[in-house]
Amino acid sequence: MIRLREDNIVCITSDGNYSHINTVGGECFIVTSQLGQVEMLIGTQLPSSYGRFVRIGRGLIINMRYLCYVNVSKQKLYLIDDSGHKYVQNASREALTQLKNMTEKNYRNG
C-alpha cells in the first residue's frame, strides 16, 4: 500500500508488470501494478486531478504541474519538482508532439 498526495507525484514510469512512482525530492516507489492499472487508479481515486496527470505513450504518466521542457527532436521530456530535482524521461516523437500541441493549446485558451 502506498499513500501519496497528488502534488507529490512527479511521474510514473512503466517497467513491465511494475510501475515506478517518482516523487518530489527524487524518491521512487515501486508498485506491482502495470501502468494501465495505475492510470485507472488515478482516475478513480483522484477524480479532482482530471487533466493534471497525462499518459505519454505506453510507458509514462506525468504530472503536468512539473512539466518544464519538451524536446521532440531528442525525444526527451524534462520535469522539475518544487525542490529543484530534475527528471528526464524518454518518449516517442509522436507522443511528445501530441503533448506539446496539447500544452500549447491549453496555454492559449487560458
Q: What is the pTM of this model?
A: 0.90
Q: What is the 3-state secondary structure (H, E, C) of 28-57?
A: EEEECCCHHHHHHHHHHHCHHHCCCEEEEC
Sheet holding 9-15, edge to edge: 28-31, 18-23, 9-15, 60-63, 53-56
User: Are 22 and 87 contacting, i.e. CB atoms less than 8 angstroms apart?
Assistant: yes
CA distance 69 to 24: 17
**At residue 110, does pLDDT exceed 70?**
no
Higher pLDDT: 42 or 48? It is 42
Instruction: List pLDDT tens digits, range 78-90.
Output: 999 999 999 999 9
Grid cell for residue 96: 511528445
User: Are 13 and 77 contacting, i.e. CB atoms less than 8 angstroms apart?
Assistant: no
